[in-house]
Amino acid sequence: MNAADFAAENNLHRVGARPPLHRYLQEMWERRDFAITMAKFKIEANNQKNRLGMLWIGLSPVLTAAVYGVVFGVLQGDRRPDNFASFIIAGVFLFQYFTNTMNNGAKSIVSNRALVQSLAFPRMTLPMATVVQQLLNVTVIISVMYVILFVLGNPIKLSWLLIVPLVVIMTVFNAGVALFMSRLTAHTRDITQLLPIINRFFFYSSGVLFPIDRILSSFPALLQVYDFHPIYEFLVIGRGVLLQGYTVPSEYWWYASGWAALLLIIGTVTFWAAEESYGRVD
Amino acid sequence: MDVSTRTEGIVEQSETPPGKPVVVVDDLHVDYKVHATGKRAKNSRRKLLTPTRGLSSVHALRGVSFTAYENESIGVIGSNGSGKSTLMRAIVGLTPPSKGAVYASSRPNMLGIGAALIPDLSGEKNIILGGLALGLPKERIKQLQEEIIEFAELENFIDLPMRTYSSGMQARLKFAIAVARDHEILIVDEALAVGDRRFRQRSEDRIRGIRENAGTVFLVSHSMKSIADTCSRVIWLNQGQLMMDGGPEEVIEAYQGSKGQPDD
């Protein structure tokens, strides 16, 4: 009789074996309180370090938008998009939601290495905790954005409420990206060096600061490709529902939802596949 | 690997007949691949970008096998670097084995709650976070909270941020959170070395309590006294191999007999 049979006969299971995907997701769901509490406590602990505390969550994107607004306002001269200040605010605020989740999600396993090496729980809890943390932050950020857009003269419309489904779609998308990136960085630490470059690529390619359709107006083929740029879609939808003088092509809602679903599936499966290896010391 | 002979060996060594097996460690090997940094004594003429730069393999465990039974408390001893902590991490499933396997009746827990806590938050909030990290439901943590605070003797400090605690207070809090839940299989790695004599006494009592509730405890320690006081069986590891497995007196005696020799 070998050890495996002996173990099976006594109803023992191999420790650390990765459960099947549905059981894994169920186990993670049972740990949702841990993920949510960790997200809340991390926000609280971060805020305690700064004198202005919670204010920074809203203040940081405002200052970023101000800097970009001035620089790119001057650079673009009279080729500025309509309603320029609001254009920048909506772009920067929504883009930051994506980029913050990707960055923190990517580092979620690496920066919690001690925790991963001392307690056994479904590792997916860690990237999901950062997604929750950013989701909590974005509710503050969006309220700030509403106030600024109103002050900038955008009339309050019923379509402002459509930010809620947009945030839902973006959260699903971000979760997928965070899961995917956290597996990559857990195995190859070098990816953290690439993160700022990946960020910048998306930042400049998704038209946060300038209107893509005007710049590419002489390349209609390229513009068609842009219909399938997920982050560009998010920004177009966001500006369409919020700003005076912008509209949303209705198919963008479908494209964006499709991207979100696809990324979540890819991210979940990729992350789960390496579940046994995150605690490795190397 | 023939388990039946190994089981008989254990029967011979322990005085009480074994109960239900709860952990089976079968020919366990663990390798670490380490990117060594710093200069090597020999072979130092390496170029900076050589891809194989300093990648060395550390063979931390070399074929360890044993079976642990219900109600046992097993002390694990050995000199520094003998593979004690690696063995414990492999039993919990944190370190994947490179060969062999660990089987257990339920997922073993390690008393390593500290990593989940946030030093900037109060002791009270850290109790909630630590409890959730252990998989306790929120309501249960609320019920246990008083008991945890009392066991950790932190009644007057529980509202203060954890970073303001002394190292002894922090260790007491971590221990108190970790033993608050019932563990079927618990691994205690050096945790008893913390706190003053009185707290150590109470920690050992608590571990005996877990054992009496049909639990199995692994205790890693350099303190032969706490091993002898708490354990019913002792495993001696040396350089990743199982040197001896048996009753506390004989193993500790053999281990101490080997000490003072050059390899320790």
Are A123 and A278 in contact by the 8 Å Cβ rule? The answer is yes
Instruction: Please name the helix (run of DSSP H) or strand (run of DSSP E) that holds residue B87, with its range, or none.
Output: helix B84-92
Structural domain includes residue A106: yes
- Domain borders along chain B are 1-35+56-110+184-264, 112-178
Cα–Cα distance, B125 to B161 (Å, whole number)? 9
pLDDT for res B234: 93
Does residue B2 carry a pLDDT above 50? no
Cα–Cα distance, A108 to A125 (Å, whole number)? 10
Three-state DSSP class for residue B216: strand
Closest CA in chain B for residue A280: B95
Cα–Cα distance, B125 to B103 (Å, whole number)? 35
The residue range of the domain holding A27 is: 20-277
- Binning pLDDT at 50, 70 and 90, where does residue B172 land? confident
Structural domain includes residue A6: no
Q: Is there a contact between A38 and B23 if contact means CB atoms under 8 Å apart? A: no
Cα–Cα distance, A135 to B130 (Å, whole number)? 23
> The dihedral of CA A147, A149, A154, A157: what is its sign?
negative
Q: Which of A119, A121, A126 to mutate to test the interface with B (most CBs of B within 10 A)?
A: A119
Q: Which residues of chain A have pLDDT under 70?
A: 1, 280-282
Mean pLDDT of B245-263: 79
pLDDT for res B181: 78
Of the candidates A7, A45, A121, which has its C-beta nearest B118's C-beta? A45
Are B96 and B257 in contact by the 8 Å Cβ rule? The answer is no
Cα–Cα distance, A113 to B17 (Å, whole number)? 41
Cα diameter, chain A: 83
Spell out the SS3 assignment of B100-133.
Answer: EEEEECCCCEECCHHHHCCCCCEHHHHHHHHHHH
pLDDT for res B180: 82
User: How many beta carbons lie within 10 A of that of residue B146, not counting itself?
Assistant: 10
Instruction: Please name the helix (run of DSSP H) or strand (run of DSSP E) that holds residue B173, with its range, or none.
Output: helix B167-178
pLDDT for res B16: 52
pLDDT for res A153: 86
Mean pLDDT of B130-150: 89
Residue A277 touches chain B, beta carbons under 8 Å: yes
Burial class (CB in 10 A: 0-12, 13-18, 19+), B205: exposed
Q: Is there a contact between A12 and B101 if contact means CB atoms under 8 Å apart? A: no
Are B125 and B148 in contact by the 8 Å Cβ rule? The answer is no
pLDDT for res A102: 94
**% of chain B residues with pLDDT over 90:** 6
User: How many beta carbons lie within 10 A of that of residue A198, not counting itself?
Assistant: 16
Residue A273 touches chain B, beta carbons under 8 Å: no
pLDDT for res B3: 44
Does residue B190 carry a pLDDT above 50? yes
pLDDT for res B182: 77
Q: What is the spatial order of strands in the sheet that B21-35 belongs to? A: A13-14, B99-104, B21-35, B55-69
B125 token code pair: 């909030």
Structural domain includes residue A39: yes
Are A61 and A97 in contact by the 8 Å Cβ rule? The answer is no
Are A276 and A116 in contact by the 8 Å Cβ rule? The answer is no
Three-state DSSP class for residue B49: coil
Three-state DSSP class for residue B149: helix
Architecture of the structural domain at B1-35+56-110+184-264: 3-Layer(aba) Sandwich (3.40)
The domain tally of chain A equals 1
Tally helices (H) and strands (E) across chain B: 8, 9
Of the candidates B91, B95, B120, which has its C-beta nearest A280's C-beta? B95
- Binning pLDDT at 50, 70 and 90, where does residue B7 land? very low
Q: What's the mean per-residue pLDDT of chain B?
A: 79
Among residues B95, B96, B91, B83, which one has the least CA distance to residue B107?
B91
Structural domain includes residue A78: yes
Does residue B9 carry a pLDDT above 50? no
B244 token code pair: 């001896």
Of the candidates A11, A34, A45, which has its C-beta nearest B132's C-beta? A34
